[in-house]
Chains A and B, each alone.
Chain A
Amino acid sequence: MSSVAHAAHSTRPIANTRSATGMATGKLAVWWVVASEVVIFGGLLASYVMHRLAHDAWSVQAAHTNTWIGAFNTMVLLTSSLSAVLAHQAAEHGDGRKASNLLWATIAGAATFLVVKAFEWTEEITHGFTITSSTFWSFYYTAAGLHATHVFAGAILMAFVAVSARKNLELHRVELIGIYWHFVDIVWIFLFPLLYIAK
């Protein structure tokens, strides 16, 4: 079964093919990655919330974040999550080509998100809201920046998976990168109200 296929395909150790928990190793690993990322973002966002609650006056600065751009980007990420899970569905049915196309659509969503953000930040910076203007903006750029870094890195990894998937190889990875991607989406689901709505 898979062991021979794996042996022929790569130098994957036998350890990788075992599954005492009943869960594939790759998936198990991705969930642990998600858990460790929760605490990274959690620490940052908890720190932000503490400061925001204590500094009522930050609402003056916060008023300058653009809710419409934020909402648009949220929509983009939600849609990219949709394409990611549809890619997973396609991969489950063995359709590597379709999965690959959907992953590239997700990557396009990521690119859109980053481009929009670049314009958004340029707007804000040229209006004088730099990272040092006030601690609100420091948190704003740091939190959104850390998130954007994860979007970027995720898109790169996703591209590798998409290339393999097109050749019907490593289709299980479509689900794995999807889990990471949905997590990145969930972080934004919380960042959006924090930075754009509950000003």
Chain B
Amino acid sequence: MAEHVAPAHHEAHAHHEESWVRKYLFSTDHKIIAMQYMFTGMAMGLIGAYFAYVFRMQLAFPGISVPGFGLVSPAKYNALVTNHGSIMIFWVAMPVLLAAFGNYLIPLMIGCDDMVFPKINRLSYQIFLISALVLVASFFVPGGGFGGAWTSYPPLSAKGQYNLTPLGSTMWLVAVGLEFVAFLLGGINFITTAMNSRAPGMKLYDVPMVVWMIVVASILFMCSVGPLLAGAIMLFMDQNLGTAFFDPDRGGDPVLWQHLFWFFGHPEVYVVLLPTVGIVAEIITVFARKKLFAYRTVLYTVFGTGVLSFTVWAHHQFIAGVDPRMAHIFTVTTLLISIPIAEMMFIYIATLYGGSISFPTPMLWALSFIATFLIGGVTGIFLGASGADIYFHDSYFVLAHFHYTFFPITIIGFYAGFTYWFPKMFGKMMNETLGKIHFWGTAIPVNFIFIPLFITGAMGQHRRIYNYENFPDLANNPLFWQLSHIATIATVVMLAFQVVFFINLFVSLRSGKKAPKNPWLANTLEWTTESPPPHGNWAELPRVYRGPYEYSVPGRKQDYWPQNEPA
């Protein structure tokens, strides 16, 4: 094995002063690339959030010009909801949770100097950036952005005369395809680096859970995106070349698209879930000063969940006319998969039990993830049962379910990881007061957005309708409008509180307290280097002597035991 600690290596390719362009725009350093993904994802998140504000205003106050946008026509509404969903999943959750945290943390937490293929890493970001630009450009072309829902079912998505956005729909598809390619490239780096470049002494069971999670997520992505990439090529041809892959009149089948999409779409939710689950593991162990309860169980559970996630996809298609016998099978597998996920949440609670718990901002986020995600997960049970789903499918109940899962995954997970690793990334401490105000201003309102939507969904509110005044059962029911208003007002309140985060960000970057190497007294390797780490991460690469969760070990004076400290 060729591992070594070699300061000489760095002198051999000492980086002379680089121009700003080389250093920041064309860097191959994993930390810079991580920041590129992070901030691009955050920018896209602002766009996605703005879209949510606009359509929620339209829903609560239909036909009234939305401040900061204007009148929302049906076509615009469709484009807003389509692109809100697409952006949040493909251009916020994926880059922030997988690419940014993955890029930043993996080399640092396994004790090496960069990813194994830095240039491919840079290429993956460049392709990702192009995909984001193509998507944003699609909003400004004649016809506007694609309005066929983020699931893009044909024939609506295939035929310009139906979706009325022929250019926008192709650009959307190209953007998604490019995003997939970017993440395939990135995934190779993550998997190979984590498998091969671990510090000497770091056995597989000494790897921090977040690294495992990101690697498993990358594997899930790489194994599931293929059929959809094939499907995207087929849909592109249907859109632009007149082929009929998904046109039943000419020998195709639109349900094939649904299967191709969801075969990827379901593992995809675990692709974004796992990094957040990993981030939460890191945070709760540090702030409970306690070992992760059942590390190996969590690991094997994650492997099992990963495999199982490939067997549940058609629960998204229960009322699409799929063979009812298949629906039985998918009901069983879907209900089964809730077990390992629930088990992981219980393991986290067991980790906290008896710990010496403190509540800085990252911990608040981590705990709220567990609470909020549990609600989301539990409501999925109703949807996984095909019988109940006949009623719930395509209603706001589904929407509330997946926001109660995706919001903790993407937004809470992002803030948890960002506030936790901010000192390492930027060398400054974030303001705790602002952090807590931001936390409460986000975590409480989100419940007031989506619990009303569970109720309206159960009342029969369909998804993807721009104006419920056309539904007398709902429109004449004052409760419906009350709930709709509550949801919208809560949305505006929650979005307003994000300003506090940005204030905190800028204030902390400019004049935050200087961060020490290890402000949280954590064990993992990233806390043994400077804040922020230099190029190459360490002057001398570390060696590992134990697992990452040796907190409060009996008999030791310190309540933590860094991985790189000799025994």
A residues with a Cβ closer than 8 A to B are: 1-4, 7-8, 11, 13-23, 25, 28-29, 32-33, 35-44, 46-47, 50-51, 55, 131-132, 134-136, 138-139, 142, 146
* Contact A135:B243 (CB < 8 A) given known A15-B107, A142-B237: yes
Chain A, Cβ-Cβ closest to B202: A20
- A138 touching B243 by the CB < 8 A rule? yes
Q: Quick check: A36 and B226 within 8 Å, CB to CB?
A: yes
Please name the residue on chain B nearest to A39 by beta carbon.
B226
Determine whether the beta carbon of B2 is less than 8 Å from that of A19.
yes
Please tell me which one of the listed residues B9, B223, B233 contacts residue A35 in the complex, with CB atoms under 8 A apart.
B223
Q: Are A15 and B114 in contact (CB under 8 A)?
A: yes
Instruction: Write the nearest CB–CB distance from B191 to chain A, whole angstroms.
Output: 6
How far is the CB of B101 from the nearest CB of chain A, in Å?
18
Q: A55 → chain B, closest Cβ, in Å?
A: 6
Identify 22 residue pairs between A and B in the complex whose beta-carbon atoms are under 8 Å apart, listed by A's number: A3-B6, A7-B9, A14-B197, A15-B112, A15-B116, A16-B197, A18-B2, A18-B197, A20-B196, A20-B197, A35-B222, A36-B223, A36-B226, A38-B226, A39-B223, A43-B227, A47-B245, A55-B251, A134-B251, A135-B243, A135-B250, A142-B233
Which of A11, A32, A47 contacts B222 (CB under 8 A)? A32
Nearest Cβ on chain B to A116's Cβ, whole angstroms: 23
B251 touches A135 (CB 8 A): yes
Interface flag for B505 (CB, 8 Å)? no
> Do B227 and A29 touch (CB < 8 A)?
no
Distance (Å) between the CB of A94 and the closest chain B CB? 19
Given the complex, which residues of A lie within 8 Å of B241, measured CB to CB? 131-132
A13-B118, A43-B229 known; A132+B251 contact, CB < 8 A: no
Q: How far is the CA of A67 from the CA of B2 in the complex (A)?
A: 50
Q: Which of B1-25 contact A (CB under 8 A)?
A: 1-4, 6, 8-9, 12-13
**Contacts across chains A and B counted by CB atoms under 8 Å:** 167
Question: Does B226 contact A41, Cβ atoms closer than 8 Å?
Answer: yes
The docked-state distance in angstroms from the alpha carbon of A48 to that of B241 is: 18
Q: Which residues 176-211 of B sit at the A interface, judged by CB distance below 8 A?
A: 184, 187-188, 191-193, 195-198, 202
Bound Cα distance from A142 to B241, whole angstroms: 11
18 new A-B pairs (CB below 8 Å) besides A3-B6, A15-B197, A25-B197?
A7-B9, A11-B13, A13-B115, A14-B3, A14-B197, A18-B112, A18-B198, A20-B3, A20-B198, A37-B226, A39-B222, A40-B226, A43-B227, A44-B234, A47-B231, A51-B251, A134-B250, A135-B250
Knowing A15-B115, A16-B116, A55-B251 are in contact, say whether A142-B226 is a contact too (CB < 8 A): no
Q: How far is A180 from B251 in the complex, measured between Cα atoms in Å?
A: 34
A99 to B532, CA, bound (A): 45
Nearest Cβ on chain B to A6's Cβ, whole angstroms? 8
Complex CA gap A142/B198 in Å reads: 41
**Which residues of the other chain, B, contact A43 by a CB distance below 8 angstroms?**
226-231, 260, 263
The answer to whether A21 touches B228, judged by C-beta atoms less than 8 angstroms apart, is: no
Closest to A132 in B: B242
With both beta carbons as reference points, the residue of chain A lying nearest to B238 in the complex is identified as A138
Query: Given A13-B118, A15-B197: A36 and B222 within 8 A (CB)?
Result: yes
**Contact A29 B226, beta carbon cutoff 8 Å:** no
Interface residue count on the B side (C-beta < 8 Å): 56
Residues of B close to A142: CB separation below 8 A: 233-234, 237, 243, 245
Closest chain B residue to A10, Cβ basis: B13
Shortest Cβ distance from B541 into A: residue: A14
The complex places the Cα of A89 from the Cα of B101 at a distance, in Å, of 41
Whether the Cβ atoms of A138 and B237 lie closer than 8 Å is: yes
Instruction: Choose among A18, A19, A25, A47 the residue that contacts B230 (Cβ–Cβ < 8 A).
Output: A47
Whether A20 contacts B1 by the Cβ 8 Å rule is yes
Contacts of A32 in B (CB 8 A): 187-188, 191-192, 222
Which B residues lie within 8 Å of A139 (CB)? Answer: 245
A21 and B198 CA atoms in complex are apart in Å by 9
Q: How far is the CA of A7 from the CA of B228 in the complex (A)?
A: 40
Classify the interface of chain A: helix, strand, loop or mixed.
helix
A15 touches B223 (CB 8 A): no
The answer for the CA separation of A119 and B252 in the assembled complex, in Å, is 28
Residues of B within 8 A of A37 (CB): 226
Chain A residues positioned under 8 Å from B198 (CB to CB): 18, 20
What are the nearest 9 A-B pairs in CB distance? A43-B227, A39-B226, A135-B251, A40-B226, A44-B230, A13-B114, A15-B112, A7-B12, A15-B197
Cα A3 to Cα B193 with chains together (Å): 17
- Whether B394 sits at the interface, judged by CB under 8 Å, is no
Instruction: State the Cβ distance, A85 to closest chain B Cβ, in Å.
Output: 23
Instruction: For residue B238, give the distance in angstroms from its CB to the closest CB of chain A.
Output: 9
Determine if A39 and B224 form an interchain contact, defined as CB atoms under 8 angstroms apart. yes
A40 B230 Cβ-Cβ under 8 A: yes
**Chain B residues, Cβ within 8 Å of A29:** 116-117, 188, 192
Take A18-B2, A18-B112, A142-B234 as given contacts and tell me if A40 and B196 are in contact as well, using a CB distance cutoff of 8 Å. no
Chain B residues, Cβ within 8 Å of A15: 107, 112-116, 193, 196-197
CA of A17 to CA of B9 in the docked complex: distance in angstroms? 12
Task: Determine the residue in chain A with the shortest Cβ distance to B253.
Answer: A51
A14–B226 CB distance below 8 A: no
Minimum C-beta distance from B348 to chain A (A): 28
In contact, A19 and B191 (Cβ under 8 angstroms)? no
Known A29-B117, A41-B226, A47-B256: A132·B243 in contact at CB below 8 Å: yes
Greatest chain A CB density within 10 A among B116, B252, B256 is at B116
**A-side contacts of B3, CB under 8 Å:** 14, 17-20
Nearest chain A CB to B141's CB is how many angstroms away?
25
**Interface residue B225 (Cβ < 8 Å from any Cβ of A):** yes
Contact at A13–B112, with CB atoms within 8 Å?
yes
When chains A and B are docked, how far (Å) is the Cα of A17 from the Cα of B114?
11
Complex formed: what's the CA distance from A93 to B115 in Å?
Answer: 30
Q: A131 near B263 (CB under 8 angstroms)?
A: no
**A50–B256 Cα gap in the complex (Å)?**
10
Chain B neighbourhood of A135, CB < 8 A: 243-245, 250-252
**Which has the most chain A C-beta neighbours within 10 Å: B6, B195, B260?**
B195
The answer to whether A138 touches B245, judged by C-beta atoms less than 8 angstroms apart, is yes
A residues near B224, Cβ cutoff 8 Å = 39
Q: Which of B110-136 touch A at CB < 8 Å?
A: 112-118
Chain A nearest Cβ from B534, distance in angstroms? 14
Identify the interface centre among A18, A39, A138, A142: most chain B CB within 10 Å of its CB.
Answer: A18
In the complex, A132→B192 CA distance in Å?
41
Which residue of the partner chain, among B118, B227, B541, contacts A46 with CB atoms under 8 Å?
A: B227
Q: Which residues of A contact B9 (CB under 8 A)?
A: 3, 7, 14
Residues of A within 8 A of B188 (CB): 29, 32-33
Known: A8-B12, A39-B226, A40-B229. Contact between A47 and B260, CB under 8 A?
yes
Contacts of A3 in B (CB 8 A): 2, 4, 6, 9
Q: Within 8 Å CB of B244, what residues of A?
A: 132, 135, 138
